[in-house]
Structures are given as C-alpha cells and as structure tokens.
Amino acid sequence: MQYSNFVLVHRYFMSLIIFIVLLHVSTGAVSAVVAAPLNDDAAKRQHAYELYADYRKHFPQVEEIEPRAAIDFLEAADVVFLDVRKTEEQQVSMIPGAITKETFMDNLERYRGKRIIAYCTISYRSGKLAAKLERKGISVVNLKAGLLGWVHAGGPLVRQQQPVQQLHVYGRKWDLAPAGIETIFFKWYQMVIAD
C-alpha cells in the first residue's frame, strides 16, 4: 500500500512539473531558449521594439517618449525618471538620478509639476503603472522600449552613482541588450513567484 501512494504522489508531481514547463513555453517565458538567437545589435533592438509595440496595446492612451529624447532630459531639474522594477533589478543598475516606485508613491506632492518618465526593462510594467496613475490624474510618460531602448540609444546606467555596463532584463525573453552590456535575469521559477 505504501508503495502505491508513493507512485501516485510521484505521478502528481511529475504532472505538475510538466504543466509548469508547458505553461511557461506557451506564455513565452522560455521562448528565447527555443527561438533562434539574435546575434547582432540591430536585430536585438528591433525585437525589443516589436515586443514593446505588442505590450503597448495594453495601455495605448499612455504618452511615450523615445529613448534618445529622454537621454536629453537627464540633467533637467524638472524631469524625474521613475524606475518601477523590483529591488533586485534596481540593485544591478538604474538610470542616473532615477527614483523607485516606492519613493514616488510615498512623495507624490514632492513630484507634482515635474515631468515623470517611467521605465522598466521593456516598459510593460511602467506602462501599466502610467495608465493606472493617469486614471488618478497623475501624468506619467512611458519610456519607449524601456531600459532596452535606453541602452540601445546609448543611455548610461549606474549602480550607487557609479557607471556600470550591467542590466537586469527580468527574464531570458528580454535578453536583448546591445554588445558591451552584461545582462542578468531571473530564472523561470523566480519569475513565477516574482509577480
């Protein structure tokens, strides 16, 4: 009797593992493993912009800004860059002078009247936040193609105010940074519990 219970439990867990793998393949979480690799910067940039265009369908009303134009605002006193990524991602690198979502939400009055440029890896999470804030009367501009667009446009990254050439791209699917930028990403099982 004990042996048959073991077999049932084993089959259950194997079925669960297969389900999780199939779920991730079907949702694209591991599609980069199956897809042909993108080897040149132009192809990576184009793919990042294609992904962003697809995600943008979820927040079409949100104003966006091209990365090259956003780079020109780095030194502007009336512009705030808003990083909506997880702490683990921010610890790898951020746009110089950027603030976290938590800092922004805790100090909304402090940033009133400033131009807010939100971003994440590909600007999906930031676009969703911008749409949510827009409904509350808070204007936020979304960085087109996110940090991937930013680094492809030559935008700088820092960690603790020091220049770095590393970028957390959330997952393998978004491993589209140009040559010279080291990418770091969550494993698929970390992404399952991450959001």
pLDDT in tens, 64-110: 999 999 999 999 999 999 999 999 999 999 999 999 999 999 999 99
Tell me the residue ranges of DSSP E strands in 107-155.
115-119, 141-143
Distance of CA 131 to the CA centre of its chain: 16
Residues 161-166, mean pLDDT to the nearest whole number: 97
| Mean pLDDT taken over the chain | 86
The model's confidence at residue 19, banded by pLDDT at 50, 70 and 90, is: low
Task: Provide the pLDDT for residue 34.
Answer: 37
| pLDDT at 28 exceeding the cut of 60 | no
CATH of 38-194, one of 3.40.50.1580, 2.40.40.20, 3.40.50.1100, 3.40.250.10: 3.40.250.10
Q: Label residue 174 exposed, middle or buried (CB < 10 Å: 0-12, 13-18, 19+).
A: buried
| pLDDT at 2 exceeding the cut of 80 | no
Q: Which residues of 131-142 are buried (b: 16+ CB within 10 A; e: fewer)?
A: bebeeeebebbb
Residues 117-146, mean pLDDT to the nearest whole number: 97
The model's confidence at residue 36, banded by pLDDT at 50, 70 and 90, is: very low
The model's confidence at residue 185, banded by pLDDT at 50, 70 and 90, is: confident
Least confident piece of the model among 15-19, 24-28, 104-108, 179-183 = 24-28
Higher pLDDT, 58 or 6: 58
Least confident piece of the model among 30-34, 45-49, 178-182 = 30-34
The pTM score is: 0.79
Higher pLDDT, 159 or 17: 159
| % pLDDT > 70, the chain | 77
Distance of CA 119 to the CA centre of its chain: 7
| Residues in CB range of 173: below 8 A, 6 or more apart | 28, 29, 30, 31, 32, 51
The model's confidence at residue 39, banded by pLDDT at 50, 70 and 90, is: confident
